[in-house]
A = this chain, B = another copy of it.
Amino acid sequence: MSRSGLFSEDRSAEVVVDSFGEGTDPRLREILGSLVTHLHAFVKEVQLTDEEWRTGVDFLTATGQRCDDVRQEFILLSDVLGVSMLVETINHRALDDATEQTVLGPFHMVESPDRVLGANIALDGGGEQCLVTGRVTGQDGKPVADATVDVWQANADGFYDVQQPDIQPHRNLRGLFRTDADGRFWFRTIVPRFYPIPDDGPVGTLLERTGRHPNRPAHMHFIVAAEGYQPVTTHLFVDDSPYIDSDVVFGVKESLVRQFVAVDDPDRAKELRFDNPFRAVHFDVTLSQDGDRTVASA
């Protein structure tokens, strides 16, 4: 007797892909076809043993079971394997000199409060005082007035307000600003601190087993948006932060790193109601006009 389509080591991935029915959505077929092909190639390449397969099953199971309303261990896994950053990069390639994107991260979970230009978003009193200035322009160099600049960051201890609802003031270190007629924005805050991603689950174990630390270098989150332009979700990284060269989620892009310079200027400090010296950073944002941005086809 002879049966076509039975499983064999040589044709293993092909046989699985051939099992998909004719009515399968073409995009789903494309995605699963590629996934199965790479998965089988991986198993063959490393000659995965029964025991290693079982370890993999157990790891994935534990990862799923670590997820709850406030913890998404599979996103963490995707993050530390560089997959989140790769998907981000593929889907939001910056054109020419437009500001590069990076990962959104899990802490943009509440709306930032409206604040006037110059406001101090550091409500808890800790950390090194810092003035942030910048300008939003289009790729043609023209200022973008009335752009929204949404900012959020960790405090001097490396925690976001939502992680410490009983310790930090409500909406600490968050603000939604609007650029002035010349496209400029400025506000007062503190220099953010590096922090570890949650590492008490399976992903933490994976990091430990591969000799990796769980830290993200210090950064400030930005979403900048304006009518007629593509919004940009990005970070401003602190040049001299620990881990700037080894972000556990691979989010650092060279173009997003800035020096937070020390300013020794008693008069300016007084104006800002800062202690002297203080720190200052400048971050210009360039937006692509609508329709200009390369995105992956859906």
| Cα A51 to Cα B122 with chains together (Å) | 34
- Is there a chain B Cβ closer than 8 Å to A189's Cβ? no
| Cα A181 to Cα B211 with chains together (Å) | 57
| Cα A22 to Cα B211 with chains together (Å) | 7
CB-CB under 8 A from A25, the residues of chain B are 209
- Is there a chain B Cβ closer than 8 Å to A21's Cβ? yes
| Cα A61 to Cα B296 with chains together (Å) | 25
CB distance from A239 to the nearest CB of B (A): 7
CB-CB under 8 A from A253, the residues of chain B are 6-7
Partner of A48, one of B31, B48, B210: B31
- Residues of A in contact with B, size category: 35 or more
- Is there a chain B Cβ closer than 8 Å to A250's Cβ? yes
Chain B residue nearest in CB terms to A35: B42
- Is there a chain B Cβ closer than 8 Å to A30's Cβ? yes
Chain B residue nearest in CB terms to A212: B19
Q: Are B2 and A254 in contact (CB under 8 A)?
A: yes
| Binary B-proximity of A9-36 (CB < 8 A = 1, otherwise 0) | 1001101100111111100111110111
CB distance from A137 to the nearest CB of B (A): 23
Q: Are B209 and A28 in contact (CB under 8 A)?
A: yes
- Given contacts A254-B1, A254-B3, A36 and B87 within 8 Å (CB-CB): no
Q: Are A9 and B89 in contact (CB under 8 A)?
A: yes
CB-CB under 8 A from A81, the residues of chain B are 16, 36, 39
- Is there a chain B Cβ closer than 8 Å to A298's Cβ? yes
- Is there a chain B Cβ closer than 8 Å to A78's Cβ? yes
- Is there a chain B Cβ closer than 8 Å to A232's Cβ? no
- Is there a chain B Cβ closer than 8 Å to A5's Cβ? yes
- Is there a chain B Cβ closer than 8 Å to A98's Cβ? no
Query: What are 15 A-B interface contacts by the 8 Å CB criterion?
Result: A6-B250, A7-B250, A7-B252, A15-B82, A16-B81, A21-B212, A40-B82, A47-B296, A47-B297, A50-B91, A57-B74, A57-B75, A60-B64, A61-B74, A64-B74
